[in-house]
Copies of this chain bind each other. A is one copy, B any other.
Amino acid sequence: LVLATGEQGAALLYTFKWLLICILIGLLVGSASAFFLVSLDWVTNYREENTWIIALLPLGGLVIGLLYHYYGGRSVKGNNLLLEEIHTPRERIPFRMAPLVLFGTLVTHLFGGSAGREGTAVQMGGTIADQFTKVFRLRPRDRKLLITAGISAGFASLFGTPLAGAIFGLEVFVVGRIRYESLLPSFLAAVIADYTCHHLWGVSHTVYAIPFVPELSVTGFVSALLAGVVFGLAGMVFSKATLLWGNIFQRYISYAPLRPVVGGVVLAGVVFAIGTTKYVGLGVPTILAAFSDPLPVYDSVVKILFTSFTLGAGFKGGEVTPLFFTGATLGNALSQAVPLPMALLAGMGFVAVFAGATNTPLTCTIMAIELFGAESSVYMALACVTAYIFSGHSGIYGSQVIGSPKH
């Protein structure tokens, strides 16, 4: 029995090299996520206790707008810059992208914009990772793996879902394809970053519970597919709305720093007019409520409006937690018509709208398992896959490349 020892030697070298690099990436990105999560918690609490601060949203918008306009350079592209550097590498991602997006996101949340946080973590992860390209003199192929590992580390540590984070890095670049080049780096960086954030820094994540999952039946199967179609359409509407508001702002306000100012005036006005902060910030309390209490049927639509307007105006953050909000509240509303438990539908919407808007059905199925446990995995997979099929070929990341048509 001849062992291919040459091949094993290469595997060993490869593993050692990436283990070392991923320990560095994991420690740094996990720490960055921990700092971000704690700060985000702080600004969110401050805003909720001092809602008058939302009146200053236009001012916050101005600061973000000026910073990105005069100092941001390519950073303004956000997640898409990472995707573009993977597809057609040009030059090192500027380090300033990390502090800029961190600051921009905290300002957005402090003054009451409606946004997420995964964009921030992913951009910090990719940026921090790419700084090692020069340090270690990595070749172009290795640089791809490095950025991918950074993205996986950011996503994993932010949501406390190491496997979903690892797969997200592999799945997000090309619609309809996964390549395993960075399989090992992504898993190593994701697990280490999550460990750093959760165990070393002691930052905990929100716990969602689906108390009862019915055995699969024909009704349950059909319900999951139908709900998946609705979730996919919601994901598509979310993407298109974000794009639409971005286009409107660009068309009517040519001076970029002014866009979030105008956007901030409108948003702050609306918030004071409706008299609730339910739709600003991350919206975690409402996401949690969607698993147990009946909510207004329009919640998901209002959140799409708030977030697409906020991001289209040039505020910073991410889309994923608002996508969770949209999906969970939509699932909550669907439970009045679809014969599945409310918490199960809320959980399915939570991941499936995200799957549709970002074209990452496997990430979302695994995320559901990591957040809600394995019992509901078949429902989750059916909803995520169907949402993926029905969300159209363009998602919230404009620089995704289509590798394989959906249908």
Contacts and interface: CB of A to CB of B under 8 A. Distances in A.
Interface string A207-243: 0000000011000010001000100010011001100
Contact of A404 (B11, B163, B180, B366): B180
Interface in A289-333: none
Interface stretch (A39-47, A90-98, A380-388): A380-388
Interface stretch (A2-10, A30-38, A51-59): A2-10
Contact of A361 (B183, B191, B365, B390): B183
Contact of A374 (B373, B385, B403): B373
B183 A385 contact: yes
A392 B4 contact: yes
Contacts of A385: 183-184, 187
Interface string A160-177: 001100110000000011
Nearest to A7: B392
Contacts of A166: 381
Contact of A176 (B15, B181, B244, B370): B181
A1 B237 contact: yes
A17 to B, nearest CB: 9
Nearest to A216: B195
Interface string A382-403: 1001101110110000000001
Contacts of A13: 407
A374 B378 contact: no
Contacts of A1: 237, 240-241, 244
Please state the number of chain copies in the assembly. Answer: 2
B236 A378 contact: no
A14 B390 CA distance: 10
A284 interface: no
B8 A184 contact: no
A87 interface: no
Contacts of A236: 3-4
A370 B365 CA distance: 13
A407 B378 CA distance: 33
A216 B199 contact: yes
Contacts of A392: 4, 7-8
A163 B383 CA distance: 13
A406 interface: yes
Interface string A356-388: 000001100110011001100110011001101
A21 interface: no
A179 interface: yes
A206 to B, nearest CB: 17
A178 interface: yes
A15 B378 contact: no
Contact of A407 (B11, B195, B381, B382): B11
Contacts of A407: 10-11, 13-15, 184
B221 A389 contact: no
Nearest to A365: B163
A14 B389 contact: yes
A248 to B, nearest CB: 12
12 contacts: A1-B244, A2-B240, A11-B390, A13-B407, A15-B389, A19-B225, A180-B361, A180-B388, A183-B389, A195-B221, A199-B216, A366-B366
Interface of A: 1-4, 7-8, 10-15, 19, 162-163, 166-167, 176-181, 183-184, 187, 191-192, 195, 199, 215-216, 221, 225, 229, 233, 236-237, 240-241, 244, 361-362, 365-366, 369-370, 373-374, 377-378, 381-382, 385-386, 388-390, 392-393, 403-404, 406-407
